[in-house]
A and B are shown apart, each in its own frame.
Chain A
């Protein structure tokens, strides 16, 4: 009798051992406080919630995800510390954030060979050298700006355009490609202005007016953009505004109010008010995990979800291929990824030569306090030509 119970106990212990899910750590390092934290905090929540959803639904069989969102306060030294900790622990993939932090880590990422998915869509992240392991979730800022220039050229042939950019590598990244594309499109970029941290852009806007600018294209975050478009409205300028992913979105509507009316915004994400599976999924997760309306409405929330989703999908594919989950197997899975995801307007596809996940973008226009699509998903026809010369 005693032996029988011993056998049962042994069997139970063995069964528990086999049933215990493998814990896979995924770390994100970004700004929950400090500069750009208005975007970072929602981005972090998107990552946390997608991981929770993956665990709750058993999305990857036999795997329990331990997702850590670390506040690096937009400080590269903290980002470096977090990344090295993840590498030491053997994390198979890392989620990054800022342009500066990603650019600084490039040589190290290349050395250690851990796939890195940043929130920065700076083209320099995936340009040589040291670019093998960095994967952008969606098209780069350069491609976004060229896409919106293509749209402007279509609706206003020969338009005069000014660019207003953030005074950093993040802001400057698309300028050269945009100038080349404008030449091809028959529109003119009459001025590129780095936006100071001021609250009054009257002087800049009056100069744009004197040069006959019809469109201002922004590569900046929503806060300064809101200030400038409010000033343009106050001055009564007949100029249209357009911007890349981080320049627009519901955050801009909230900050700029009716001054944002007519703003052209290019992004790869669906809006939560749209009637489709992506919007429904985002809202469901936000409600399930108790996020406030501001988070669910923000484009940074699904952006964080997509970054986590790509990492988790790569881990899933690595596991399904019968490989041990490691940086190398996840990297190989990413290189073969062709995933029709739930969050963006196109599939996430990567290859050895293509480290951009979602290649398609949409232009949306602010109408009556909401962003509505004015194009179908499309890929920029000029970006590859002007950036890679092919």
Chain B
């Protein structure tokens, strides 16, 4: 008889067992413990830490979207920050007229429409050519915003202060409030992401990624699948953009630039392309690396600061670049693979096999 709390191997006797999210009760329990832990976490963190945590969660949401487009569907996307920007600017335009909980899906839907349009070239081109098409969208987005007086030509569009159930969000509670909002949204969208591969559409994504001609021969519609992948990924980015707009209190074009798109790709690679946990690990690793390298760079400056060479300042960008290169060389499956190995080890513990 199987023990419902643990697994001793990879023995599955039905399709339902193969596609289940939780193979054992202990997995369910650990998730509940994790979620409760995340809910009480703000009690142990200061405001400054909350700000960083919020940013990681918002970026995780955006990277989830990128993982649908690039990780699942295999469509290289260098314009993901622009999708996020579409969501952010939509939020800035509709926020004075709608409550924040309505702004988030509206921003996601507008970004999804932009994603579907950008996905149209994917019907005819792929690989590097598609990457250039998404790059073009990124540049068109920046140019269009820069020439739109209604969008302050890329200058700041202030977000209104939120009042929710009589609770007024101000400086002291800002990051706490947006943490809980982002957390709830992220959990819901992460569950949707996790379930995506259990659906017909999710399996089509992977099939099209692996071989679109074979997928076509098996009755799938590669074109529609690709466009839908862009739309769905952009929806995630759009919601992340709206959350970022509220979190940063104003929308400025620089927050949705090409550099941020590249950063998202780096997060997806470091975390592990096409994985759920990688979408959390990537942003967390790179953001925390940057902050720690910042502290380290100041320490270096105190110890060694030769004239003409700013060694301390150079360490931060160096660490970012080095992290990506090292992961690509030594662990292309990203941190998600380390997580998998760690779980495997403890699943069988204390037995070796």
Contact = CB atoms under 8 A, between A and B. Distances in A.
A368 interface: no
A80 B171 contact: no
B171 A41 contact: no
B48 A124 contact: no
Q: Taking chain B's interface residues, is the majority helix, strand, or loop, or is none over half, making it mixed? A: helix
A32 interface: yes
Contacts of A157: none
Nearest to B317: A33
Interface in B134-185: 143, 146, 152-156, 158-159, 170-171
A186 interface: no
Interface string B294-318: 1001000000000110100110110
A370 interface: no
Contacts of A172: 146, 153
A112 B174 CA distance: 12
B250 interface: yes
Interface stretch (B216-224, B251-259, B332-340): B251-259
A77 to B, nearest CB: 6
A314 to B, nearest CB: 22
Interface residues of A, number: 39
Contacts of A112: 171
A111 B158 contact: no
Given A76-B255, A87-B171, A111-B171, A33 B313 contact: yes
Nearest to B249: A107
A233 interface: no
Contact of A168 (B159, B253, B308): B253
A123 to B, nearest CB: 11
A81 B51 contact: yes
A85 B171 CA distance: 12
Nearest to A290: B307
B252 A73 contact: no
Contacts of A167: 143, 146
Contact of B310 (A32, A104, A169): A32
A100 B142 CA distance: 14
7 contacts: A34-B317, A73-B317, A101-B254, A103-B252, A108-B249, A129-B158, A172-B146
Interface of A: 32-34, 41, 70-71, 73-74, 76-77, 80-81, 84-85, 87-88, 98-101, 103-108, 111-112, 124, 129-130, 167-169, 172, 194, 290-292
Given A80-B248, A104-B250, 17 more contacts: A32-B313, A70-B294, A71-B313, A73-B317, A74-B254, A84-B47, A87-B171, A101-B252, A104-B156, A105-B249, A106-B158, A107-B158, A111-B171, A168-B146, A169-B152, A169-B153, A169-B253
Interface of B: 46-48, 51-52, 55, 143, 146, 152-156, 158-159, 170-171, 248-250, 252-255, 294, 297, 307-308, 310, 313-314, 316-317
